[in-house]
Amino acid sequence: MNIQEIKENIYFVGAIGWDKRLFDELIPLLNGTSYNSFLIKGSEKTALIDSIYPSKYFNLTGRLKEIIGGKIDYIISHQAEQDDIESLQEFVETYPESKIVTNKRCKLLLKDLLLIPEDRFLLVRDGDKLSLGDKTLQFIFDTQVNWPETMLTYLKEDKILFSCDFFSSHYVTNELFLKDEKKIYNAAKRYYAETMMPFRTSIIKSIKKIKSLDIEIIAPSHGPLYKEKKDFIVNAYKSWSSDKVENEVIIPYVSMRDSTENMVEYLAESLTREGIAVKVFHLTDSGIMREFVIALVNVATIVIGIPAVLTSPHPNIIYATYLINALKPKVKFISIIGSCGLGEKTVDILAGIVSKLKAEIIEPVVVKGYLKDSDFELLDKLAEEISTRHIKIGIANKK
């Protein structure tokens, strides 16, 4: 992407990592991601917002030279996550007169991570303002989206919120501003699920905090910017982070010899008869894991399907359960179904992994070998129990 003017004297100077396949060596990317960086040219001072993908560092310095001739007064550092600060060290050397503007917490981390000298920092607190002449930056933090040191920047005169990871998505496009929300919905929801969901209560606080700002443009650190579609992303975040769950069950499962699969298929039919939406994810396909994570966002109930392998649940299910626990979805109920000789032990292992979740555990259904009539009855009872619980919390109607 070339230099693009967002508004007068405000430029997108970021880069696209088309080649990126794994973010943080953890999150699979479908077609790369963008590393957004912004330059604000005030009548007296200039400020750069967020850092850039290291292999594109020289493209950035070239662009800056073209726009402002090479002098930067401030580099705003929103948080100390490596993807946002990757080329900060080079920056400090290339622009020796520049100051890194950040908060106390972030400074301590930057000093440890990048060995940046003390005299290069300019510390700000929540609500502080920094004048660039005809443009004023205002800093917003104490909301933790998503780390304790994270802050956001509001450019008052131009009504732009530089929101860091908040409202980001790993979605590559050469459109600066999002035009069609249908195109981004899954990527934005997936970013929320994988990166923001564990901090759901902080997100609720942050949405309240930015409500008082008059925002025209939201400029996150990854993915497209929001102008006409800014209400779409704010409303989507409101819905994802709210306590409201949907009348839906997801069933992540693995089955080596079809016994668990037969149970999953039967339970899915039984839940459908109860009027509950069902999504089934066979977790031997790694691509499915991405879809499965998105489905965690608003789901009311998760039923995990397991066969026993070497006295434990199948390793893919252990991974998926670990992920569920780490991402802390607002799920209300969890149950387990499966076909395994060492039933109770495998169930105990899974129940132990979901310790961070506030969900209630519904009595598991564990069978041995070929499904018998009594096993089908147990699965019907499980579907009925899930339905009763959904009715009780007000997301399904009485039959």
Ligand X SMILES: Cc1cc2nc3c(=O)[nH]c(=O)nc-3n(C[C@H](O)[C@H](O)[C@H](O)COP(=O)(O)O)c2cc1C
- Amino acid found at 267: L
Whole-number Å distance between alpha carbons of 84 and 50: 6
| Minimum distance of ligand X from residue 334's CB (angstroms) | 19
The region of 43-51, 77-85, 302-310, 388-396 touching ligand X under the rule CB under 6 A is 302-310
**Cβ partners under 8 Å of residue 222, min gap 6:** 33, 34, 35, 36, 165, 168, 169, 170, 171, 191
Q: Which residue is nearest to ligand X (CB)?
A: 341
Contact string 12-51 vs ligand X (x = CB under 6 A) = ----------------------------------------
Closest to ligand X by CB, 110 or 268:
268
Interface pick for ligand X out of 308, 327, 331, 354 (rule CB under 6 A): 308
| Minimum distance of ligand X from residue 346's CB (angstroms) | 8
# of chain residues touching ligand X (CB under 6 A)? 15
- Amino acid found at 87: S
153-182 positions binding ligand X, by CB under 6 A: none
Instruction: Copy the structure tokens of residue 352.
Output: 């132990």
Determine, following the binding rule CB under 6 A, whether residue 371 of this chain makes contact with ligand X. Answer: no
| Minimum distance of ligand X from residue 305's CB (angstroms) | 8
Interface pick for ligand X out of 87, 241, 339, 387 (rule CB under 6 A): 339
Query: Is the CB of residue 155 less than 8 Å from the CB of residue 162?
Result: yes
| 3-state SS assignment for residue 337 | strand
Closest to ligand X by CB, 178 or 367:
367
The alpha-carbon radius of gyration of the chain (Å, integer) is 24
| Minimum distance of ligand X from residue 113's CB (angstroms) | 43
| Minimum distance of ligand X from residue 316's CB (angstroms) | 12
Determine, following the binding rule CB under 6 A, whether residue 340 of this chain makes contact with ligand X. Answer: yes
The region of 2-10, 32-40, 94-102, 253-261 touching ligand X under the rule CB under 6 A is 253-261
User: Given the structure tokens 């004297």, which residue do they identify?
Assistant: 9
| Minimum distance of ligand X from residue 147's CB (angstroms) | 40
Determine, following the binding rule CB under 6 A, whether residue 315 of this chain makes contact with ligand X. Answer: no
Closest to ligand X by CB, 309 or 323:
309
Determine, following the binding rule CB under 6 A, whether residue 381 of this chain makes contact with ligand X. Answer: no
Query: Is the CB of residue 233 less than 8 Å from the CB of residue 226?
Result: yes
Closest to ligand X by CB, 26 or 310:
310
| Minimum distance of ligand X from residue 284's CB (angstroms) | 11
95-154 positions binding ligand X, by CB under 6 A: none
Whole-number Å distance between alpha carbons of 228 and 217: 8
- DSSP class of 193: I
Concatenated DSSP letters of 216-262: SEEEESSS-BBSTTHHHHHHHHHHHHSS--EEEEEEEE--SSSHHHH
257-286 positions binding ligand X, by CB under 6 A: 257-260
Determine, following the binding rule CB under 6 A, whether residue 341 of this chain makes contact with ligand X. Answer: yes
Whole-number Å distance between alpha carbons of 240 and 172: 22
Burial 157-183 (b: 16+ CB within 10 A, else e): ebebbbbbbbbbbbbbbeebbbeeeee
Give how far the C-alpha of residue 53 lies from the chain's centroid of Cα atoms, to the nearest Å.
19
Q: Which residues bind ligand X (CB under 6 A)?
A: 255-260, 307-311, 339-342
